[in-house]
Every structure is written in structure tokens, then in C-alpha cells.
Amino acid sequence: MVPHEAGKHCGFPHLWGTYRYITATTPTRQNAPHPGVSHGLRVETGVVSRSDRTTQRHPFEPRAWILRLGFRRSLLRPTDSARSDRVTHIELFFDLIFVFALTQLSRYLYANQSWVGALESIILVLALWWLWVYTTWVTNWLDPAKLPVRGVVIGLSLVGLVISTSIYDSFGDQGLVFAIAYVVLQLGRTVFMVLALARHDPALHATFLRILLWLSVASVFWIVGGLMPLAVRLPAWLIALAIEYGSASLGFRIPGLKAPGVDDWDISGPHIAERSALFVIIAVGESFLVTGFAFVDQEASALGITGLFLAFVNGVAMWWLYFDHGERAGSNAIAASREPGRIARLAYTYVHAIIIAGIVLTSVADKSVLEHPEDAMTLPVAVIIVGGPLFYLVGLLLFRWIVTRTVLVSHLVGVGLLALAGAAAAVMTPIGLGAMTSVILVTVAAGETIARVRAGTTDDDAG
């Protein structure tokens, strides 16, 4: 056997020198075995694919102390069983915490309809999304059916509950509580991932060491911001988010070291797609909670019933737009791509943050329409009513472009109509503008479905 540069096999640079190993090959999730090809023992170099990683040997020189810290038992998802791509019940349990978190976030945005409040809400939306999506990536690799992983997810849920209870006053007296809980969840989950991978996947382990370093730097700004008054907290938390999102967009590069090859991550496309789709449903459900509580807190009236109906129409239209035409496209694109990590990182890690922000903003708009249907229009209310559907459609536009390289005309028409509605907002009441945006969403959804049916796409193949 000839030494070879480690990491070359899967596109990951390796930090720890060269090594050799013998492995039994099995098909990866994206690449089924070719008919007639024998899959016996073979000699290879570098880092193995996801299906091979439990049998690989590791370089021992500089990493021996790290290996001793890692879990002896592999906690990785199996690649040859039904659990390979399945979303587990413990993951759904973790998602329940975010129902409350999104409700508190909508409450905060409704109570702080100003430019500063909008910026604070953006920070909170991005922070919550980052917590959720990082955990989703982790459970994409680790097997939640194994007790250590299940225990960690439950622990993360507890910390997430603390975060959820402190969101509403995160830019007030609860700032330090929010910051500490956020840091504990981010660093704790990443440390566990480092230990879980140390003996079983050196390439991914090297990547998570980089992630841990970047998150540690960002954590300083989270804690400092939590300790400081608002004048300092806002920019400090903006810097923290810029570090976290920026490091991911750069592939978690560290000066002087090669990029870790994030685009070549061997991931489960069906799992990522299903987890993200379920979170979209959670966000839509949260919008019904916000509107429902607002409705029962006021006396029944024709305008109130109209506002509740418009909120329901918005929820149905957003569900239809996501699940009728595009939900399957992401999973199919990841399965067919030679760079599954790039598709997942762009389409689900970043673009879905815009989609979720649009749903949250729409829930706040529904509440505003319900409680102040005929008040004089103000700029913040107009921005919220138009901005929610606009964010949502722009997010779907970007998602569709990334996964299929296509642009749907109905999306462009919807964005244009929403822009016109925003221009006419000054002469309209909140309920009038809300009705107009609802009609636009329904029109876009209907247009997509008509185009799909005319193209001969079956219901099973939608997307």
C-alpha cells in the first residue's frame, strides 16, 4: 500500500498527515452499486465515504489524544437500514420547543414595530434558525435511536426551552440568560459531535473542530452582548451572527489550512428535506396559534371573522406553495448531485431562513389585521403585511433556482404584484391590504398548480 494524501477520497483536506487502511466497501446514499461490480475487500487511501467510515483506521501521530477522548461505539446512522433517512420521534420532540419559540418571537415583533425592533427581530429569527438547522445537520449524521444521541437531544431541548422563555425579553433583562443558553446549546452540541466522530470519521471530525473554533469566537460576542446594555448588545450580537453565518458560507475555513470540503459532505437528502418541510409546517401552525389567540381575546365581529379567515387563507396558500410544487425538488436534487453538501447548505441552511422569516412575519401581519382592521395605515404595518408574503415568495424563488436551476413565472408575477400592493398601501386599511396580499398568494399557488397539471406532472411527482 502506498501512502496517499488523506482526505482526497471524499474531497476533505485532512489535518493530520497521511495514513493507509483496508475497508469493505458498501454503497453510499447517493451512489448505489453498479450492476455486475463486485464489492469485496479492497485497498484504498484517504477518507472513506459515509458508508465505509465505521471500518476505517485513523492516523495516530498527532491525533492520538483526541482519539482517546472519542466514543468507542459508533453513533453514526446506519446506511443499510430503514433508519438511514428516517426522521425520528426524538427529533420531532426537539421541534416542539420551537413552536413556543416562534410564538414568542411573533409576540416580540408585534410589540416592537419599529426599525430597531425589526433589526432585533431579524437577529432573533436568524439565531433561532441557526440553532435548529445545526441540530438538524447533527441528527442527519448521528443516529437518534442510540441512547447517547437521544439523551443529548433531550438535553438540547431543555436548553432550547430556556432560550424560548427568554426570547421576549432578550433585549431587556433576560439578555444574559438568552446568550448563555444559546452558547451552551451551540458549543455543547458541537463538542458532542467532535467526540462522536473522533474515532469514526476523521474528515468530518476535522470539520467539526473548525466549527467548534468558529462558534467559540462567536460565543464571546454573545456573552459580552448579554452583559452589556442595548447600545452594545445589538452590534455585539450582530457580529456574533456574522461570524457564525459567515464561517459556514466560507466552508469553515481557517487561515493557513485548506478548506474542509463542505460541498462534498455525504448527507441524507431525504432526511434534510423532510426535516425542513416539517419545520415549515411548524411555522405555519405557529401562525395559526398567534391568530387564534388574538381572535379569542376579542369580541366576535364581522371584521374579526374576516381577519381570521384571511389568516387561514394565508396559511393554506403558503402550505400549498411549498408542498405542491417544490418540496420534493430539494430531496431529488441532493440525491442526484455530486456536491450534496452545497445543495443542502444553500437551499436548506440559508434560503429556508428566508422562508421561515416570511411565515413568522405573515403571522404578525395576520394579528395586526385582526386587531386593527380599519385603523389608519402606518409604515410598519404596511411593511409587515406586504413583507411577509414577499419574503416567502423570494425564498421559494431562490430555493427553486438552487435545486433545479429554474424560475417559475408565477413567483415573479407574485413578487411584482406584492410590490404594487406595497406602493398602494398608503390609501388602504390594514384589512384591505391584507385581503389583497391573500388574493396574491392564492393566485400564485393556483398558477403553479395549473402549470404543473398542464405540463403533465402527476401529483406523486409534484416538485
Whether residue 46 is contained in a domain is answered as: no
Please state, as a whole number, how many other Cβ atoms lie within 10 Å of the Cβ of residue 183. 21
Which residue's C-alpha cell is 432560550?
163
**Is 51 part of a structural domain of the chain?**
no
Do 291 and 199 share a structural domain? no
Mean pLDDT, rounded, for 59-81 = 68
- Is 408 part of any domain? yes
Do 244 and 330 fall into the same domain? no
Dist CA 233 CA 175 (whole Å): 8
28 domain-assigned: no
How does pLDDT run across 329-346, given as a tens digit for each residue? 777 777 777 777 778 778
Given 212, 228, 260, the domain boundary residue is 260
Percent of the chain with pLDDT over 70: 80
Evaluate whether residue 425 is within a structural domain. yes
Q: What is the mean pLDDT of the chain?
A: 82
Q: Spell out the residues 6+ positions from residue 96 whose beta carbon is closer than 8 angstroms to its own.
A: 157
Residue-wise pLDDT tens digits, 126-138: 999 999 999 998 9
Residue 255 shares a structural domain with residue 311: no
User: In terms of Cα–Cα distance, which of 34, 66, 41 is closest to 55?
Assistant: 41
Confidence of residue 353 (pLDDT cuts 50, 70, 90): very high
Task: Pull the grid cell for residue 89.
Answer: 420521534
Residue 451 class from Cβ within 10 Å (0-12 exposed, 13-18 middle, 19+ buried)? middle
pLDDT score recorded for residue 3: 39
* Residue where a domain stops, chosen among 260, 287, 305: 260
Tens of pLDDT, residues 373-412: 999 999 999 999 999 999 999 999 999 998 888 888 999 9
> Percent of the chain scored above 90 by pLDDT?
55
pLDDT at 79: 76
Place of cell 411584482: 416
Are 241 and 350 within one domain?
A: no
Q: Which cell numbers hold the place of 44?
A: 484504498
- Percentages of the chain per state (helix, strand, coil), in multiples of 5: 70, 5, 30
Tens digit of each residue's pLDDT (9 = 90 or more) over 149-186: 999 999 999 999 999 999 999 999 999 999 999 999 99
Residue 431 lies in a domain: yes
222 three-class SS: helix
Residue 402 contacts residue 351 (beta carbons within 8 Å): yes
Same domain as 274, residue 243: no
Say if 326 falls within a structural domain.
yes
| Cα 344 from Cα 399, distance rounded (Å) | 10
Split at pLDDT 50, 70, 90, the class of 255 is confident
Strand partners, 45: 20
Asked if 107 and 194 sit in the same domain, the reply is yes
CB atoms within 10 A of CB 294: 21
Q: What are phi and psi of 20, to 5 degrees?
A: -130, 155
How far is Cα 128 from Cα 357, in angstroms, rounded to an integer?
11
Query: Are residue 100 and residue 214 in the same domain, yes or no?
Result: yes
Helices (H) and strands (E) in the chain, counts: 15, 2
DSSP state of 42: E
Question: Is there a single domain that holds both residue 448 and residue 300?
Answer: yes
User: For 372, which DSSP code?
Assistant: S
The answer as to whether 74 is a domain residue is no
283 alpha carbon, distance to own chain's centre: 12
Domain that holds residue 398: 269-454
**pLDDT at position 249:** 83
Whole-structure pTM value: 0.81
Of 2-11, 193-202, 289-298, which range is least confident? Answer: 2-11
Question: Do 212 and 224 form a contact (C-beta atoms < 8 A)?
Answer: no
C-alpha distances (whole Å) from 382 to each of 63, 375, 448 are 57, 12, 26
Query: pLDDT at residue 244 above 60?
Result: yes
Same domain, 168 and 246: yes
Give the whole-angstrom CA distance, residue 288 versus residue 175.
28
C-alpha–C-alpha distance, residues 331 and 321, integer Å? 16
Q: Are 267 and 140 in contact (CB under 8 A)?
A: yes
- 10 Å CB burial of residue 338 (0-12, 13-18, 19+) is exposed
Q: What would the pLDDT profile of 267-289 be if each residue is shown by its tens digit?
A: 777 788 889 999 999 999 999 99
- Do 312 and 352 share a domain, yes or no? yes
Choosing from 260, 294, 323, the residue where a domain stops is 260
Residue 34: helix, strand or coil by DSSP? coil
Shared domain for 338 and 284, answered yes or no, is yes
Q: Is 80 exceeded by the pLDDT of residue 307?
A: yes
Q: Output the pLDDT for position 63.
A: 52
* For residue 8, pLDDT beyond 70: no
In this prediction, residue 251 carries a pLDDT of 81
pLDDT value of residue 22:
31
Q: What is the DSSP string of 448-461?
A: HHHHHHHTT--STT
Of 35, 43, 266, 241, nearest to 141 by C-alpha is: 266
Task: Enumerate the H helices of 228-323 as residue ranges.
Answer: 230-249, 269-296, 302-323
DSSP letter at 348? Answer: I
Are 353 and 370 found together in one domain?
Answer: yes
Domain count, the chain: 2
